[in-house]
Amino acid sequence: MNAPRLLPLMMALGAALALPAQSQNLVALVDAARSFDAGYQSVRLQYDATLAKSEQARAGTLPTVNLNAAASLSLIDNTLAKTKQGAYDTESATLSASHPLYRPANGITYDQSKRQIELVAQQLLAAEQDLIVRVSSAYFDVLASQDSLDFVLAQKTAVAEQLASAKRNFEVGTATITDTREAQARYDLVLAQEIAGRNDLQVKRLALDQLTGKTNAVPVAVALPLALPPVQPDAVGAWVQKADEQHPGIVQSRIALDVAQLETRKAQAGSKPTLDLTGSLNMTQNNESASSASSYRTTSASVGLSFNLPLFTGYAVENRIKETLLLEDKARSDLEAVRRTVAQGSRAAFFGLLSGLGQVKALEAAEASSLSALEANKLGYQVGVRINIDVLNSQSQLYDTKAKLAKARYDVLVGHLKLRQASGVLRAEDLRPINALLAP
The pLDDT confidence band at residue 203, using thresholds 50, 70 and 90, is very high
- 281 falls within a domain: no
The one-letter amino acid code at 349 reads A
**How far apart are the C-alpha atoms of 298 and 94, rounded to whole Å?**
12
Which positions ≥6 away from 393 have C-beta within 8 Å?
Answer: 377
- 85 falls within a domain: no
Which positions ≥6 away from 262 have C-beta within 8 Å?
Answer: 108, 111, 112, 115
pLDDT tens digits along 342-373: 999 999 999 999 999 999 999 999 999 999 99
Q: What is the pLDDT of residue 83?
A: 56
Across 158-177, average pLDDT: 85
Query: Of all helices (H) and strands (E), which one includes residue 152?
Result: helix 104-172
- 155 falls within a domain: yes
Domain count, the chain: 1
Name the E strands within 346-412. none
Mean pLDDT rounded to a whole number for the chain: 90
- 427 falls within a domain: yes
CA 438 to chain centre: 24
Across 141-146, average pLDDT: 96
Say whether the peptide bond before residue 63 is cis (omega within 30 degrees of 0): no
Give the predicted TM-score (pTM) of the model. 0.85
The pLDDT confidence band at residue 381, using thresholds 50, 70 and 90, is confident
Calculated CA dihedral for residues 156, 162, 166, 168, nearest 10 degrees = 100
CATH number of 34's domain:
1.20.1600.10
Core vs surface per residue 199-210: b (16+ CB within 10 A) or e = ebbeebbeebbe
Say whether the peptide bond before residue 440 is cis (omega within 30 degrees of 0): no
The answer on pLDDT for 98 being more than 90 is yes
Per the structure, the complete domain to which residue 213 belongs is given by 22-62+103-273+309-435
The answer on pLDDT for 12 being more than 50 is no
Across 294-309, average pLDDT: 90
Q: What is the pLDDT of residue 20?
A: 46
- 194 falls within a domain: yes
- 182 falls within a domain: yes
For the chain, what is the largest distance between any 2 Cα atoms, rounded to a whole number of angstroms?
144
Q: How far is CA 243 from CA 144, 154, 247, 311, 425, in A?
A: 30, 44, 5, 48, 8
- 376 falls within a domain: yes
- 94 falls within a domain: no
